[in-house]
Amino acid sequence: MTKHFIPLDRAVSFVDPPDHARVRSVVAPYFTQRGIDRHRIRAHQLMEERCRELEAVGAPADLVRHVISPFALGMISEVMGIPAGDQPQIRAWAQTILTRASDDAQALRAEEAKQAARAYFSSLAAQRRAEPREDVMSALVAAVDAGRIDEEELLALATLMGLNGWHAVCNNVTNMMFVLLTQPQLRDWLHRHPGQILPAVDELLRWIPHKHGVGQPRVATEDVEVGGVLIREGEFVYVSYVAANWDERVYPDPGRIDFERKGLPHVAFGFGPHACVGPLLARMEAEILVNTLTGRFPTMRLAVPSENVAWQTDVLIRGPVDLPVTWSPSR
Ligand code: HEM
């Protein structure tokens, strides 16, 4: 997918069973429905702060800068235990590392950012070792101390979750808002069905082609037949969840967004042992962002023609650079 490698070498994405489950099991309890629900009240508080800032700035304003990006960063930081003052630095590292390096100078900058993020999480781990809290960083430290994982596994997982947890939600929800702002019939549907936000979020996750690349290759460890195709030991397989989500044998008329679609779940979060760690967190964030923005700013619309919205071209997950919006004050 890229000439220069994106995640840290020991990241969970590259680990096979049984080590893979050993590492993931440390953080899994924090991403269950119960684990995520603990953050719901704080999520609403953060969203309220973001809406107030948007209102204070006034129309037109950039929805990514004032609402979606800081909210997504605030939420993953809340779960991980990253202090507010460190969050801008996390975002800067994520943007550098998750942007495809097109030359050696950029690759070097990304490598430096990876090392800086690694050092940062190492020092945060030391703080949590001295003073544990109810957060993922403290759980990772406790697992190192109990001999369940080693320090390198802690650093690779913390970096992956801290950086991707912002990047993925920020870009996916910005995509969702772009879709809703350019297809008013979908917003009308949401207003008419206020209790149906989660199925709507899932249909948007299915429909949005979120990745620039097809993802990480899998390597067959033995001959295996999948869907009538023989894959020989050592061969590479690129699994495109984006293509799978538009498979017309599974989702009739896949290019149409249908909030009443019934049937098989989508695979935007992957499938199998390596499926995403954070779907419930991502869904809760998307639900609160979309629900609050469409409910509180019913007249919100793009402040520029949709074709003038600029898209990031070199990042891992697609998304607009910014989303200039305007609205009429409603209260
Ligand atoms: C809408 C937002 C998100 C989407 C669409 C998304 C999607 C994905 C996908 C497609 C994968 C790869 C699955 C595979 O290799 O088969 C993945 C992996 C992963 N995601 Fe997410 N993700 C999102 C948000 C998050 C968040 C908020 C976190 C924070 C914890 C997170 C943490 C991870 C981790 C740690 C992995 C690696 C899992 C493994 O290899 O075992 N993701 N995600």
Distance 169 CA to ligand 1 centre (A): 10
Contacts of 250 (CB under 8 A, 6+ apart): 244, 263, 264
Partners of 311 in beta bridges: 320
299 residue type, one letter: T
Nearest to 276 by CA among 225, 203, 212, 205: 205
pLDDT at 99: 87
List ligand 1's pocket residues with C-beta within 6 A.
12-13, 24, 76, 160-161, 164-165, 168-169, 172, 210, 216, 241, 268-270, 274-278, 281-282
State pLDDT tens for residues 93-126.
999 988 888 888 988 998 999 999 999 999 999 9
Mutate to test the pocket of ligand 1, among 277, 280, 281 (most ligand atoms within 8 A of CB): 277
* CA 156-159-163 angle, 5° bins: 145
Helix (H) or strand (E) holding 317: none
Mutate to test the pocket of ligand 1, among 23, 82, 157, 164 (most ligand atoms within 8 A of CB): 164
pLDDT at 189: 97
From residue 259, give the alpha-carbon distance in Å to each of 87, 180, 185, 209, 263: 34, 12, 11, 17, 12
pLDDT at 143: 98
The CATH H-level superfamily of 12-210+276-320 is: Cytochrome P450 (1.10.630.10)
Closest approach atom of ligand 1 to CA 275: 13
152 residue type, one letter: E
State pLDDT tens for residues 131-177.
999 999 999 999 999 999 999 999 999 999 999 999 999 999 999 99
Cα gap 282→287, rounded to integer Å? 8
Q: What is the CA radius of gyration of the chain?
A: 20
Distance 268 CA to ligand 1 centre (A): 9
Residues in the chain predicted with pLDDT less than 70, given as ranges, are: 1-9, 330-331
Tokens representing 9?
């070498």
